[in-house]
Structure formats: C-alpha cells, structure tokens
Chains A and B, each alone.
Chain A
Amino acid sequence: MAVGTMPAKTRSVQRTKWLKLQVYRYVVFALAGIFFLVPLGAMFEFSTRGNAGQRTLEYWRSIPDYPDLTTAIIASLQLALITSLAMLVLLVPTMVWVRLKLPRLTRIVEFICLLPLTIPAIVLVVGLFPMYLWLGTNVSDSILTLAFAYVVLVLPYCYRTLHAGLGAIDVKTLSEAARSLGASWFDVMWRVIVPNISNAILNATLLSVALVLGEYTIANNLLYNNLQVELVHLGRDNAGVSIAVAAAALLFAFVLLIAITFVGSRRRRLHPESEGITGLGVGPVQGSAG
C-alpha cells in the first residue's frame, strides 16, 4: 500500500515506532559518548588544573622540556610507522598469494597469525628476551628493533581486518583479469588489489598504530623507553605532564580514526560494492598487552 493511501492510524503507529527508535539511538549514542568522553574530559581537566585552582596549559607547554619524553614520543611514532609498514608488506602479499595459489594453507596462516592473541604479553617477553639480548649485542640496541616484536603483536588484529577486506572482493578474478591485460604481479598488487582493499589497509594500519602507541609491557620488560614507559616514569615525577601526553596520544588516535572514517565514507560513496570494513572504532590501546 502506498504511503499516501495509508490509514491515519497506521501512519501514527509507524511514526511512534520511528520516534521510539530515534530516542533509543540517541540514548545509546549519548551513553557511549559519555563512556568515552568522561575519562578524556577528566584527563583534560587534570592536565589543565593550576595550583590555585585556575586553568592553565602549563603542563601541555612543558612537554617539550622533557627530552626523554620527546625522544620516547618520537621513538613510539617511528615504531608505529615501521610496524605498520612491515605488517602490510608482510601480510598483504602473503594473504593474497595464499588466496590465489595456496588456498589449502589458509587455515595454517590464519592459525599462525592469530596465535599471538593466545600468548600473554609477559610470556612473549620471556620468549623474546634471549633474542633481544643477542640483537642488542650483535646488531643494534636501538629501540626501533622493538618493531620485530610489535609486528608479531599486531598480526592477529591486522590479519582479521585484511581478511575481511580481501573477502569483500573477487581477488582471483580481478588478478587474472589484470594478468591477462599484461600486469606483472607487482602491478596486480599495487594497482588492483591494494586500491580495492584500501579501507581494510587503513583500518589495519590504525590498529597497528593504536597498539604500538599503547604498548607498555614488552618495551618495559625489554628495558626500552617508549611512550607508555616514559609516561609511567613521568607520572611519578610530574603527573600533570604525564596525563597531558596521554591525552595528546588519545587525541592523535582519534584524529586518525576520524580521518580513516572520512576516507572510508568517501570511498563508499564512490564504490558502494567494494568497501572493506570501516570505522572499527578503535582508539589507542592504552597499556595493551600489559
């Protein structure tokens, strides 16, 4: 029945239902907002609290005055970048190749990638310690070597995200079409597969960045000073600066998330059938694996 010919009573019932649904949506949205924003607000409140009760940005301004902190921030950002790149370089071609050429290995690759989920971070550290001891002595004791451990740490999350992205496209047909048109395997990956799973890649990158920025246990136990370790140290000396940096890290992750959601929604408007998963709603994982 067309809406115009619907009886007034039916329309009224439908409108009431719609209103109830809208109210329910807003209530859920508000509760979720409060859940996320109250701690963030409390962090801002604390990090802008002056001695005499006035508001001040003193703690925020003094962040650069702590050289260890800025070094740790830079190291964590570098680690986030290296980990994300290494994860993508390792995982995307492997997953595509397994789908195309070795589908019988799918379960094994999945098992290996998800394995780190089941290993507590502290156990991982015990296993990694001798390797890092050797690395520190024979190769480099740079904090950037933590990227090896972090690639393992982010594997399960990124595997799942990329798996969903690849599942949304017909990898085999697209690859074969590209090959028949003269594309090398590199071109197939770079010009055909990657653009069509860009949302999944962005999400996997976001997860990697969030995990690395929030990682504490491995760095602390392997005696490296990353952002989270430095925040804990700083928290003992100057809690205000420590919270300001933590709030800044959260903001950074939120900005990343919004950027990815924006890119994702723009892509969805252009290619509604080729979307991967977007908007996982992942913030920085504070003290993850810890």
Chain B
Amino acid sequence: MKVTADKVNSSLVKEVEEISGQKVSACFQCGKCTGGCPVVSSMDIFPHLVLRFAQLGLLEELLHSKTLWICASCQTCDSRCPRDVDIPKVIEALRLLLLRRKGGNRLHPANLSDRVRADAPQQGLVSAFRKYAK
C-alpha cells in the first residue's frame, strides 16, 4: 500500500466526490464515525479510514474491502460528524464505482420489456439504473 502523487491526483477521487456530493478532503480524521459505528466490528477498513484512503487515492484497497457491504447506511456517523461529511454517501459512491466497473453500461431503458416496466417495483428499477447505467 503506497501513496504517490499520481494516486492523490487520481480522477477516481474526483468521481467519488462527484457521485457522493461529499468533499472527502473535509475529513480531519477525528475518528468519531468509527467510534460510534454499530457494525464496525465486522469491517476490515474502519469508516474514518475509508475517508483517509479516499483522500490519498488508495481506491483499489477500498474497492476490495468488506466495509462497503457491511455498512448499513444507518447514518449514525453522519449525524455526529463534526466536519459535516455524509459518510454513508461516500461509501455508497464507492459501491457504485465498483458496480459500474463490474457491471458496465448494461441497462438501457429502451430494452426493458413492457411487462418489466409495468410490474417491476419502482424502487427496484431505480436501483438497477443506478448500478448498471451511467
């Protein structure tokens, strides 16, 4: 695991910020998020380190971490963050980054059958578009 100027300047960091609408640079690593996280015992990278890794452009480590899928988006961290960073949104952005990378641009509205359009739950459709369409 190594920090380099290229990684810090990586466009992926900007993408995470764009998708989440959060400034990862705002975090000053106080650790309050991790201290209060109810599922932290199952995480391999603690929430404050998710922010730290993102700041340093260590995206590959993040995208392979269990934390992304353990986070329950309960918002406990977000409600207590002194720097006003919505951490679940950052984690969600990382999930999307990974899903989009894996899934690619596979879902197109025109290809959906009428039946799917009529019967599938709205929430499911929105979720599918978020993951599989850019």
Q: Do A and B come from one complex?
A: no
Task: Enumerate chain B interface residues (CB-CB to A < 8 A).
Answer: none
Task: Enumerate chain A interface residues (CB-CB to B < 8 A).
Answer: none
